[in-house]
Amino acid sequence: MDHETSTGHVTRKAVLRAAFAAGIAAPAVLMGVPALARTLTEGEAAPALTPECDDGDDPTPPQTEGPYFKPSSPLRSSLVEPGTAGARLTVSGYVFGLACRPLAGVLLDFWQADTNGAYDNTGYRFRGHQFTDAQGAFRLATIVPGLYPGRTRHLHVKVQAPGRPVLTTQLYFPGEPRNNTDSIFDARLLMSVRDAGPAKEAAFDFVLNVPQGPGPSPTATATTPPPGGSWAAGTAYRAGDRVTYGGLAYVCLQAHTGQAGWEPPNVPALWRAG
């Protein structure tokens, strides 16, 4: 991610990304600097400012799911398989709460078209989910998606913090001619994109509607005694495993390790009642 805007100013999120990566606090003098969605390319007008990562921040805007979402995607951070065609793309970033503190254990479920603009609706090519690490970071290896009628180039994603609602949205590429004609396109969802040899590197930071106070990222804590059952935090579950929770039976849809906030009723992407 570039650390300067087209005006040469260091962006707030660039400072925060660098600080979190280094495990230090961001310099207070830079905490008032707004961030652009991405570095401008020549001839482009400045988009609206993205959320400023501070108290009272605005969450990342939602967008339509579209007709091609499929549940139960595989757990993986790379969608590239042997023989995959298309220009390689790496997307990285962080997930923040409303006080601009990183959120660990956030579920991100990505899906996209292949280089020809087609979605795999029978299998799981170019579909996969992952979780942010302890620093709130994610990294996706994929390809630049192709175009299809009516849409500009984009990635789909669902983002869910433990015990919180799902954010469904889309990510866009700067400089695409169809950005001007796509009725769904939102400039606030533009990634920062740069060339890396024949490949491309992109960055985007999500802000979720998760209240936060000063100090470390909040974690889900029980306010009432657990309702009972065989489900337990810290257990590694495989697809097809069965548990009980709160008097109901659930089937595991995707392999994961249980944690507070991911109780079966809270995460339909991971558990199905029945």
Residues 6+ apart with CB under 8 A from 129: 73, 74, 75, 76, 107, 108, 109, 110, 254, 269
Query: What tokens were used for 213?
Result: 């106070």
Identify the CATH homologous superfamily for domain 46-207.
Answer: Aromatic compound dioxygenase (2.60.130.10)
> What is the per-residue pLDDT for 44?
44
Q: Of the given ranges (178-192, 237-251, 260-274), which has the lowest mean pLDDT?
A: 260-274
> What is the per-residue pLDDT for 10?
37
What separation in angstroms does the CA of 107 have from each of 113, 115, 137, 153? 21, 25, 11, 23
Q: What is the mean pLDDT of residues 216-243?
A: 70
Report the amino acid identity of residue 226. Answer: P
Q: Greater confidence, 224 or 90? A: 90
146, 86 Cβ separation under 8 angstroms: yes
Indicate the average pLDDT of the chain. 80
> What is the per-residue pLDDT for 57?
56
Query: What tokens were used for 186?
Result: 């939102």
Q: Over the stretch 81-104, which tens digit does the pLDDT of each residue have?
A: 999 999 999 999 999 999 889 999
Q: Is the pLDDT of residue 226 over 90?
A: no
Dump the DSSP string for 183-227. SS--GGGBPEEEEETTEEEEE--EE-S----SSSPP----SS---
Dihedral over Cα of 139, 209, 19, 188: its sign: positive
Distance of alpha carbon 184 from alpha carbon 193, whole angstroms: 20
Query: What tokens were used for 27?
Result: 């310099």
> What is the per-residue pLDDT for 24?
41
Nearest to 54 by CA among 2, 106, 13: 13
Q: CATH 2.60.130.10 spans which residues of the chain?
A: 46-207
Query: What tokens were used for 124?
Result: 């799981």
Q: How far is C-alpha 96 from the chain's CA centre?
A: 10
Residues 6+ apart with CB under 8 A from 124: 70, 73, 74
Q: Over the stretch 166-212, which tens digit does the pLDDT of each residue have?
A: 999 999 999 999 999 999 999 999 999 999 999 999 999 999 999 98
Q: Greater confidence, 7 or 114? A: 114
Q: What is the mean pLDDT of residues 68-93?
A: 95
> What is the per-residue pLDDT for 198?
94
Strand 242-245 to strand 256-257: parallel, antiparallel, or no bridges (unpaired)?
unpaired
> What is the per-residue pLDDT for 266?
79
